[in-house]
Amino acid sequence: MTPLTLEEVLADIRQLPSLPAVVGELIRTLDNESAGIEQLAEGIAKDQSLAARALRVANSPFYGIQHKVASIHDAIVILGFRAVGSLVMAASVTRYFTPPPEMAFDPMRFWRHGIGAALCARALAREVGLDPEAAFTAGLLHDIGVLMLLTTRPEHYAEVLAARRERDCHLVVVERELLGFDHATAGAALADRWRLPEEIVRAVALHHAPGPDRESSVRPALDDIVHVANILAHALDLAEDPDALVPSLDVSAWRRLGLDESTLKALLPGIEQAHEGYCAMLAA
């Protein structure tokens, strides 16, 4: 097979159709929940299967709502903006990037990890005083490069995945060896094309190698958060992937977060509980 270059991937990205409107809205309304609800509701209403799913979940017994929830707007209020937003993001992006069937891609597992990393990132960001919503989005999309490469370059990526399984080593190691670049670089180029905020693009780019220019800094940034969130999500086994492999923790990033044992441990039950709720929606 002819080798793949980063230039070719960047050209692929330039030729991708534009992002579904609802995803663009979600990204733009990141930090403005009140404006976001209307736009999210409008976006969902245009999509029959998403609308039906949101209503089905909102009407399930666990929300304890006595009357029937009939409007998307109410469903978003009940389920939470962020939870419905991630459902929509996952569903839309999965439809946008549909890997060929022979890739045996499991979207559920992919998003279980994405949502896990998003929830970990949000909890960590709150703890260290960074923007929790930007952290959530960055966590949700940190592996978007994997999904893109699976879809746009299935032959090359099948080789990467086979080698990873064979050698039971980290994905980025095989990617750098066989492709010459990794999913973090490809994902960041895509995030940039989608006009995500710069700090999110940076966090996607650096989630396996955070803070290259901040070795001596004491202040954490979003890339530190997403790096640790990805590791924590794997450590908590949130994707339930039998082959999951916890990446090695960057010592400087960890030091910048400055979390002690009791603080970290106190975050875990909330993360696991929220994860269950978000994923129930994904499966509904």
For the chain, the C-alpha Rg in angstroms (whole number) is 19
Least CB distance to another protein at residue 268 (A): 5
Eight-state DSSP code of residue 146: H
Per CB under 8 A, does 1 bind another protein? no
Which range touches another protein (CB under 8 A), out of 4-12, 106-114, 143-151, 259-267?
259-267
Contact 15/25 with Cβ under 8 angstroms?
no
Per CB under 8 A, does 62 bind another protein? yes
Instruction: State the binding string over 5-44 for another protein (x if CB under 8 A, else -).
Output: ----------------------------------------
Residue closer to another protein (CB basis): 8 or 272: 272
Residue closer to another protein (CB basis): 35 or 249: 249
State which of residues 195, 249, 258, 283 lies at the interface with another protein (CB under 8 A): 249
Which range touches another protein (CB under 8 A), out of 47-55, 61-69, 121-129, 180-188?
61-69
Residue closer to another protein (CB basis): 178 or 246: 246
Least CB distance to another protein at residue 182 (A): 16
Eight-state DSSP code of residue 283: H
Contact 128/258 with Cβ under 8 angstroms?
yes
Per CB under 8 A, does 56 bind another protein? no
**Spatial separation of the C-alpha atoms in residues 72 and 76, rounded to whole Å:** 6
CA distances from 256 to 27, 127, 225 (A): 27, 12, 10
**Spatial separation of the C-alpha atoms in residues 57 and 160, rounded to whole Å:** 37
Least CB distance to another protein at residue 85 (A): 20
Helix, strand and coil percent figures for the chain, each rounded to 5: 70, 0, 30
Instruction: State the binding string over 220-239 for another protein (x if CB under 8 A, else -).
Output: -----------xx-xxxx--
End-to-end CA distance of the chain: 40
Q: Which of 130, 129, 86 is nearest to 111 (CA)?
A: 86
Residue closer to another protein (CB basis): 231 or 281: 231
Least CB distance to another protein at residue 174 (A): 12
Contact 44/22 with Cβ under 8 angstroms?
yes
Instruction: State the binding string over 165-184 for another protein (x if CB under 8 A, else -).
Output: ---xxx--------------
For tokens 């991630």, what's the residue?
Answer: 86
Per CB under 8 A, does 217 bind another protein? no
State which of residues 10, 108, 264, 284 lies at the interface with another protein (CB under 8 A): 264
DSSP result, 66-122: SS----HHHHHHHH-HHHHHHHHHHHHHHHHS---GGG---HHHHHHHHHHHHHHHH
Site residues (vs another protein, CB under 8 A): 61-64, 168-170, 231-232, 234-237, 244-251, 254-255, 261, 264-265, 268, 273, 276
